[in-house]
Amino acid sequence: KNEVEQSPQNLTAQEGEFITINCSYSVGISALHWLQQHPGGGIVSLFMLSSGKKKHGRLIATINIQEKHSSLHITASHPRDSAVYICAVDADKLIFGTGTRLQVFP
Amino acid sequence: DTAVSQTPKYLVTQMGNDKSIKCEQNLGHDTMYWYKQDSKKFLKIMFSYNNKELIINETVPNRFSPKSPDKAHLNLHINSLELGDSAVYFCASSQQPTGAGNTIYFGEGSWLTVV
């Protein structure tokens, strides 16, 4: 069992839909990162969380330290949001989830 | 200016060759990393340097040797390349080592194909 589990693995949505990607972890952490990877491209850091909630544009990330769970929400999804979203926990080294492939169709 | 830049972006080479991937960051960060993304897109830490000193060295074959000439550079040299080394290698940097809860900045990745 991976120390960082993401769900779902794959997600398709219609433009405008509300998206939720979940991340659960089993180790002690100092922070949790949400990353975005476009096809053939590099990796961009979306959020770093150690508690509570953060919002950036249409993206919202939440974390519950007691339950060892985080969610990434995308409101009013758009085709340009299509990418792989990766959860990574900072446990003295980054431990990555397997990623969630999101495809948003017009 | 690209914050974390790595070269080459694409590399195709034969088994048994020796190759290097270079990485430079212009963010003034103290810590740099090499990550490997396998064919299933799973990312894993390989090495981490803080102020030119090795602080994380995961279970990586000793054919892989990182070198940090200064804080802004972390190069990855691979000897006797094998088919299983084919992967995407990402360089990254942060102000302080992981564990301190810093934002990590990634390079664009280097696609290595061993034939």
Residue A88 CB partners (closer than 8 Å, separation 6+): A4, A32, A33, A34, A35, A94, A95, A96, A97, B43
B interface test, pick of A93, A95, A101, A102 with most B CB neighbours within 10 Å:
A93
Which residues of chain A have a Cβ shorter than 8 Å from any chain B Cβ?
30-31, 33, 35, 37, 41-45, 48, 50, 84, 86, 88, 90-94, 96, 98-99
Taking the C-alpha atoms of residue A24 and residue A2, their distance in angstroms, rounded to an integer, is 10
- pLDDT tens by residue, A61-101: 999 999 999 999 999 999 999 999 999 999 988 999 999 99
Backbone angles phi, psi at B106, to 5 degrees: -105, 150
**Cα separations (Å) of B86 from A20, A39, B22, B82?**
33, 18, 17, 8
- pLDDT tens by residue, A21-63: 999 999 999 999 999 998 877 899 999 999 999 999 999 999 9
Residue A6 has pLDDT above 70, yes or no: yes
Cis peptide before B66 (omega within 30 of 0): no
Find the residue in A nearest to B31 (Cα).
A93
HEC assignment per residue over B61-113: CCCEEEEEEECCEEEEEECCCCHHHCEEEEEEEECCCCCCCCCCEECCCEEEE
Partner-chain contact A45 B45, CB within 8 Å: no
**Looking at the partner chain, which of B42, B45, B109 has a beta carbon nearest the beta carbon of A94?**
B45
Asked which of A29-38, B58-67, B70-79, B103-112 is least confident by mean pLDDT, the reply is B58-67
Taking the C-alpha atoms of residue A8 and residue B23, their distance in angstroms, rounded to an integer, is 33
- Cβ contacts from A onto B, under 8 A: 60
Backbone angles phi, psi at A80, to 5 degrees: -70, -10
Residue B99 has pLDDT above 80, yes or no: no
- pLDDT tens by residue, B4-36: 999 999 999 999 999 999 999 999 999 999 999
Q: What SS3 state is found at A81?
A: helix
Measured between beta carbons, the chain B residues lying within 8 angstroms of A90 are: 98-99, 101
Residue B73 CB partners (closer than 8 Å, separation 6+): B22, B23, B24, B25, B32
Give percent of chain B with pLDDT exceeding 90. Answer: 77
Partner-chain contact A31 B44, CB within 8 Å: no
Q: Which pLDDT does position B101 carry in this prediction? A: 76
Residue A53: alpha-carbon gap to chain centroid: 13
Partner-chain contact A93 B98, CB within 8 Å: yes
Of B80, B86, B76, the closest CA to residue B114 belongs to B86
Partner-chain contact B109 A42, CB within 8 Å: yes
Of A75, A78, A67, the closest CA to residue A23 belongs to A67
| B 16-35 → A contacts, CB under 8 A | 33, 35
- Structure tokens that stand for A46 in this block: 């979306």
